[in-house]
Amino acid sequence: MSVDAIIGGQWGDEGKGKIVDLLSKNVQIVARYQGGANAGHTVYRNDQKVVLHQIPTGALRENCICILGNGMVIDPIGMLDEINILKQLDVAVEGRILIDYYAHIVTPIHKCIDRTNEKRTNNKIGTTCKGIGPTYTDKYNRIGIRAVDLLSYETLKEKIESRLDFAIQEHQIAMDELTDLKQEIIEFYAACKNISIYIQDTFKHLHDNEEMNILIEGAQGTMLDIDHGTYPYVTSSNCSSGGISVGLGLPGSRLNNIIGIFKAYTTRVGGGPFPTELFDKDGEILGKIGKEFGATTGRPRRCGWFDLVAARYSVAINGLTHIALTKLDILDSFDTIKVCTSYDLHGKKITNLTEALNNLEDIKPIYKELKGWKSEIREYSKFDQLPLSTKNYIEYLESELKVPISIISIGPKRHQIINRN
Ligand code: IMP
């Protein structure tokens, strides 16, 4: 039996979906422990692109059941859409998708509060407007609605009505949205009824079967972690491996491998500091070739070079045992590839991110230049076949991060991957 976790090493969108899909081949459970519909995990099934937001990507492998853990925030309307997508693809769902009793529920009220907050602050954080922050706020304020509440219509209705009254009284929502909101709440009740068959106790699945291989699927990325990320420009959950213990009730001592997913360059969506962000032609090329648009919001992602300072921090915070490097093929056309090795903060050289985490807007990245390979690498299947400069790039990152880069993704298709294990 093994328990492995996949964690976003950067600011999210590292290409976790494809790696989960690969590693879920031989597992019986895939579980998510945080976040919700703010995530957008893309996988290909028979060349067809499938984007899942809440249901773990492992759903496409029918050998596994999918657990949506207590640490998640579930949007019933979105859940129903995703279940319907899977049904249309002839993927079995009943008995395979389990929402934990104590996962919190994103209601239309929370989504409305998120939108209102964003408008009032002029999109300061640039959230996905999926209601994530307001739902976690209610959780910690001990007024949240949990999946178990969906099992009784009366309980749910009472909680929704009282939450709506509170939102109006506290001016949390814009009044011109009220009519639409009430309409959406009707749709919400119907979705809750539909998804109630998936709600259950997930504890026994995670703890009572010694034979199971479990894969844990993180969403977003370490630099968006509410505690360890670039606060306040973060999401509202613990995306790093520390979140697993609380978000699934699965203690750290059960974890075998923790695999960090890193894009071969860096991207970020939404507001907040981004030390290696490029505003030049190179940034444009990365965005264009990498098709860097958010899978959830469609927003263009900000692009930059690989940041070793942030990556070293991520290795440490998560206790990474392996790395999967993704989208390496996007660098195919560059003459030179830059890697940020340290920061300059008012003349002081910084190699440890925590010394600059609160001043990231003020740093200047210091780069090392590596030779590009100027050729297409998508159809190679072994590390040794890669061009020398490609191998040098991978080995340089590996030596700096002191963690083996055991998986290298070189294209969007399932077969475009090099497994070094
Ligand atoms: P929220 O999670 O919707 O509250 O958004 C908070 C911040 O996290 C915003 O900057 C979002 O763009 C970012 N974010 C949330 N989810 C993802 C994701 O899955 N990938 C990348 N960025 C994300």
Our answer to whether residue 41 is catalytic in this structure is: yes
Q: Is the CB of 39 under 6 A from ligand 1?
A: yes
Q: Are 354 and 398 in contact (CB under 8 A)?
A: no
pLDDT at 358 over 90: yes
Q: Which of the listed residues 196, 223, 253 is the one where a domain comes to its end?
A: 196
Query: What integer pLDDT is reported at residue 42 of this predicted model?
Result: 83
Distance in angstroms (rounded) separating the CA atoms of residues 58 and 96: 10
Q: Does ligand 1 come within 6 angstroms of the Cβ of 237?
A: no
Averaged pLDDT for residues 145-149: 98
Give the C-alpha separation, 198 to 104, whole Å: 14
Closest C-alpha to ligand 1, atom 9? 127
CATH number (domain holding residue 150): 1.10.300.10
- Structural domain harbouring 42: 1-101+201-421
- Among residues 196, 222, 250, the one where a domain terminates is 196
292 alpha carbon, distance to own chain's centre? 15
The domain spanning residue 282 has which CATH number?
Answer: 3.40.440.10
pLDDT band for position 145 (50/70/90)?
Answer: very high
Pairing status of strand 97-100 against strand 65-68 = parallel
Co-location of 187 and 205 in the same domain? no
Answer yes or no: do 188 and 221 share one domain: no
Whether residue 355 sits in one domain with residue 216: yes
Q: Is residue 233 a contact partner of residue 125, using CB atoms and an 8 Å limit?
A: yes
Confidence at residue 403, expressed as pLDDT on a 0 to 100 scale: 98
Using one digit for the tens of pLDDT, what is the confidence trace for 152-198? 999 999 999 999 999 999 999 999 999 999 999 999 999 999 999 99
pLDDT of residue 297: 83
pTM metric for this prediction: 0.96
Q: 220: Cβ below 6 Å to ligand 1?
A: yes
Pocket probe mutation, ligand 1, options 116, 233, 235, 292, max atoms within 8 Å of Cβ: 235
Residues 212 and 261 in one domain: yes
What pLDDT is stored for residue 85 in this prediction?
95
Q: Do 254 and 192 belong together in one domain?
A: no
CA R_g for the chain: 21
Q: Are residues 316 and 241 in the same domain?
A: yes
Q: Do 306 and 411 belong to one domain?
A: yes
Contact indicator for 7, 240 with CB cutoff of 8 Å: yes
Q: Which of 18-32, 126-140, 141-155 has the weakest average pLDDT?
A: 18-32
Considering the domain architecture, whether residues 161 and 217 belong to the same structural domain is answered as no
Q: pLDDT for 292-329, tens place per residue?
A: 998 778 889 999 999 999 999 999 999 999 999 999 99
Task: Say if residue 276 is in the same domain as residue 411.
Answer: yes
Rounded distance from Cα 269 to ligand 1 centre (Å): 7
- CA of 167 from ligand 1 middle (Å) equals 23
Same domain (yes/no): 286, 391:
yes
What is residue 43's predicted lDDT score, i.e. its pLDDT?
A: 81
What is the distance between the alpha carbons of residues 96 and 100, in angstroms, rounded to a whole number? 13
Q: Is the CB of 13 under 6 A from ligand 1?
A: yes
The tally of CA atoms less than 13 A away on the side-chain side of residue 146 is 14
Structural domain count of the chain: 2
Tell whether ligand 1 has an atom less than 6 A from the beta carbon of residue 229: no
Which one has a higher pLDDT value, 123 or 68?
A: 68
Given 165, 180, 196, the domain boundary residue is: 196
Distance 280 CA to ligand 1 centre (A): 24
Whether 13 and 72 map to the same domain: the answer is: yes
Q: What per-residue confidence (pLDDT) applies to 296?
A: 79
- Torsions phi, psi of 376, nearest 5? -85, 130
Ligand 1: does its nearest atom lie under 6 Å from the Cβ of 38? yes
What local confidence, expressed as pLDDT, does residue 287 receive? 97
Known active-site residue 47: no
Please tell me whether residues 170 and 208 are part of one structural domain: no
Evaluate if residue 360 carries a pLDDT over 90. yes
Residue 209 above 80 pLDDT? no
At residue 364, does pLDDT exceed 80?
yes
Q: Which residue in the list 13, 21, 149, 329 is annotated as catalytic?
A: 13
Using one digit for the tens of pLDDT, what is the confidence trace for 245-289? 999 999 999 999 999 999 999 999 999 999 999 999 999 999 999
210 pLDDT higher than 90: no
Q: Please tell me if the CB atom of residue 223 comes closer than 6 angstroms to any atom of ligand 1.
A: no
Average pLDDT rounded to a whole number, residues 129-148 = 98
Query: Is residue 123 pLDDT above 90, yes or no?
Result: no
CA separation (Å) from 373 to 50, 281, 305?
A: 31, 19, 16
Tell me the average pLDDT of the chain. 96
